[in-house]
């Protein structure tokens, strides 16, 4: 019995030593690229000429690199860099005036290809089932030529189009259904289009408030649509609204109305709460709230775009739209500024890499 116990102890000890030895000799995982982690800011660039850029900011906000695509590839992205979409380790950088999408590795920013045929004033990109979808305005004054381009992500070509109503803009995916907000290009619209990604056909259109400018999906799969309302210069000013759509039925289940001259924007979420901007202030509300918040979270801001993540709010300032902008990071526990960093001209998109 005693010998058996000793042998068992030696066997267990050898396993422990082997286990510790294996841990000590594990090879650290190599970084995927110089821009893994951190924040990417897409900068539109000067209107009508020049090029847009992408700025990289490290997670600790201590390192900033401007124009990283040009730095890596020695060429420009084009005018105007509207947005960035992602599919796995690929980033799709949309330049709308140039009718071009540049595909890069999102971590190294090395160029993988470009899409130039079949685009007409492209706006925003999403992917589902390894297929890309890009909203296109066409002529922003023509209400009949708008579409969603279907992108073959293997050879970076436009494989087809889905005709949609006027002014497709923001786009999100819930399971196999694509939702497009029709802001109305240089005019106004009030439609959300639901597209079946299995058949690439329009399932239905959903009427919401005037000028829907941003979309958010909550953890239950509900779609929240923030509409800014028609502006006063149209001589048909309407109030902004926040609409909740059940994506199982594609029915509107709730609409919250703003005051008649309130025009909210920049709806975003941290996965727990909704945030939006209105009249120089940031507002916060829960997904379960049955009314709009009575007061702002904090004020004195005018963001060009904003995002929230990990207890922080990130907001950009386009300044005079001709010189470098900035990104300011706020601690949402204290509503205090953590840091402000310089970006490119007209910082219009914030992405966490």
Asked if 223 and 253 touch (Cβ cutoff 8 Å), the reply is no
CA-to-CA separations, 174 to 126, 181, 205, 220, in angstroms, rounded: 11, 14, 16, 10
Q: What is the pLDDT of residue 27?
A: 60
Long-range CB pairs of 31-35 (<8 Å, 24+ gap) are 31/107, 32/89, 32/107, 32/108, 33/105, 33/106, 33/107, 33/108, 33/109, 33/110, 34/107, 34/108, 34/109, 35/68, 35/106, 35/107, 35/108, 35/109, 35/353
Q: Which residues contact 101 (CB under 8 A, 6 or more apart)?
A: 92, 93, 94, 95, 114, 115, 116, 119, 122, 125, 134, 151, 156
Question: What's 174-214 look like in SS3?
Answer: ECCEEEEEECCCCCCCCEEEEEECCCCEEEEEEECCCCEEE
Q: What is the pLDDT of residue 283?
A: 98
| CA 306/CA 319 separation, integer angstroms | 15
pTM summary value: 0.90
Q: What is the pLDDT of residue 28?
A: 63
Q: What is the mean pLDDT of each run of 10 residues along the chain (353 residues)?
A: 37 36 54 90 93 97 97 98 98 97 98 98 96 97 96 97 98 97 96 98 98 97 97 95 98 96 97 97 96 95 97 97 97 96 98 96
Q: What is the pLDDT of residue 5?
A: 38
Cα torsion 85, 273, 178, 187: sign: negative
């Amino acid at each position: 019995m005693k010998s058996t116990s000793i042998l068992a102890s030696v066997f267990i000890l050898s396993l422990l030593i082997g286990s510790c030895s294996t841990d000590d000799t594990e090879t650290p995982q190599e970084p995927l690229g110089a821009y893994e982690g951190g924040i990417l800011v897409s900068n539109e660039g000067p209107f009508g000429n020049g090029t847009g850029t992408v700025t990289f900011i490290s997670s600790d906000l201590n390192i900033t690199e401007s124009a990283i695509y040009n730095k890596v590839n020695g060429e420009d992205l084009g005018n105007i860099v509207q947005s960035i979409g992602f599919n796995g380790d690929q980033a799709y950088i949309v330049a709308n005036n140039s009718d071009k999408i540049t595909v890069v590795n999102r971590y190294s920013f090395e160029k993988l290809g470009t899409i130039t045929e079949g685009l007409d004033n492209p706006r925003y990109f999403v992917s589902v089932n390894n297929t890309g979808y890009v909203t296109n305005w066409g002529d922003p004054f023509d209400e009949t030529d708008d579409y969603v381009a279907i992108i073959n992500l293997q050879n970076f070509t436009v494989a087809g189009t889905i005709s949609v109503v006027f002014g497709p803009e923001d786009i999100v995916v819930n399971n196999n259904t694509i939702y497009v907000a029709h802001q109305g290009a240089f005019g106004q619209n009030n439609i959300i289009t639901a597209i079946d990604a299995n058949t690439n056909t329009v399932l239905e259109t959903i009427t919401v408030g005037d000028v829907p400018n941003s979309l958010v999906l909550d953890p239950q799969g509900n779609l929240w649509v923030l509409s800014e309302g028609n502006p006063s210069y149209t001589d048909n000013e309407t109030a902004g609204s926040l609409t909740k759509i059940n994506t199982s039925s594609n029915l509107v289940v709730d609409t919250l109305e703003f005051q008649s001259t309130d025009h909210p924007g920049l709806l975003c979420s941290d996965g727990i709460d909704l945030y939006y901007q209105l009249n120089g202030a940031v507002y916060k509300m829960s997904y379960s709230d049955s009314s709009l918040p009575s007061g702002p979270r904090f004020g004195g801001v005018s963001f060009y775009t904003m995002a929230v993540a990990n207890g922080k709010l990130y907001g950009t300032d386009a300044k005079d739209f001709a010189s470098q902008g900035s990104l300011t990071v706020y601690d949402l526990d204290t509503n205090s500024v953590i840091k402000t960093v310089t970006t490119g001209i007209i910082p219009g998109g914030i992405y966490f890499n």
